[in-house]
Amino acid sequence: MPLPTFWAILFFIMLLLLGLDSQFVEVEGQITSLVDLYPSFLRKGYRREIFIAIVCFLSYILGLAMVTNGGMYVFQLFDYYAASGVCLLWVAFFECIAVAWVYGVDNFYDAIEDMIGYRPNPWMKWSWSVITPVLCMGCFIFSLAKYTPLRYNKVYEYPEWSVGLGWFLALSSMICIPMVVVIKIIRSDGPLIERIKAVAAPARGASSRPADYHPKGKESEILDPNGNNSLIKPTHTIVETMM
């Protein structure tokens, strides 16, 4: 190709911007979740900025360990276990279950209609409720059945303690979902069946309008987020990106 140096510069600039974009999305997602969970503590003064600095510093220390002489071993350990497809399939399965079966696929349809003004294709309902969960769980079971311990360059075998550390990294994200479910069931009142039903029920404030309700001429109105039955004019436009 003509101007090879120019294209090489553009390529590495693309990698730099891609890394920065991924870092912004992941760090901001974690920080926003924790700040919204503890707003009375983290939204006072400069506590949010200090909290962001601490998270970035810890992330820098973890990343620094991956650029040392033995950094490739650490990187592969994180990549093979903590960021593997097993963890992603586990989370995706429970996301589909939560959206389609706990919150309700019809309620989700109504929410999408409120946002974009029309109902998506009906095949998406089957995808959310049946096809995607079955595929995720099938691939998850297949990955566990075909699991082999990590090797570097198909030669070096990781010691058992590092394999245990890798599974600890994987389970640190996977176990959160069933752990929260068990905690919610324990904290609920009544018989076990009633507790499970209460935990699996949508949270209060979920859409309960009739299935044949189709707003016309109200594209500029939304439901009051405070739970009022009246309609109010929107004051903000929120755009969310998800990786």
- Same domain membership, residue 219 and residue 102: yes
Q: Which of 18, 33, 64 is the last residue of a domain?
A: 64
Helices 176-187 and 160-174, interaxial angle, to 10°? 50
Query: H or E segment at 231?
Result: strand 231-232
The total number of structural domains in the chain stands at: 2
Domain residues for the domain of 57 are: 1-64
Can you list the residues of the chain whose pLDDT is less than 50?
206-208, 210-243
- Same domain membership, residue 229 and residue 152: yes
- Same domain membership, residue 205 and residue 116: yes
Q: Which two tokens stand for residue 80?
A: 């093979």
* pTM, to two decimals: 0.65
Q: What is the pLDDT of residue 192?
A: 85
Write down the residue that tokens 């859409």 correspond to: 207
- Same domain membership, residue 15 and residue 90: no
Q: What is the pLDDT of residue 13?
A: 95
Backbone angle region of 153, left / alpha / beta, with phi > 0 → left and psi within -120 to 50 → alpha: left
C-alpha radius of gyration, the chain, whole number: 23
Q: What is the pLDDT of residue 135?
A: 93
Q: What is the pLDDT of residue 154?
A: 78
- Same domain membership, residue 103 and residue 3: no
Q: Which two tokens stand for residue 16?
A: 């730099």
- Same domain membership, residue 221 and residue 127: yes
The DSSP symbol for 78 reads: I
pLDDT tens for 69-93 read 888 898 888 888 887 778 888 988 9
**Does 36 carry a binding-site annotation?**
no
**Does 18 carry a binding-site annotation?**
yes
**Does 22 carry a binding-site annotation?**
yes
Nearby residues of 131 by Cβ (< 8 Å), 6 or more positions away: none
Q: Whole-angstrom Cα distance, residue 63 to residue 56?
A: 10
Query: H or E segment at 1?
Result: none
Q: What is the pLDDT of residue 10?
A: 93
With contact defined as beta carbons under 8 Å apart, do 177 and 185 qualify? no
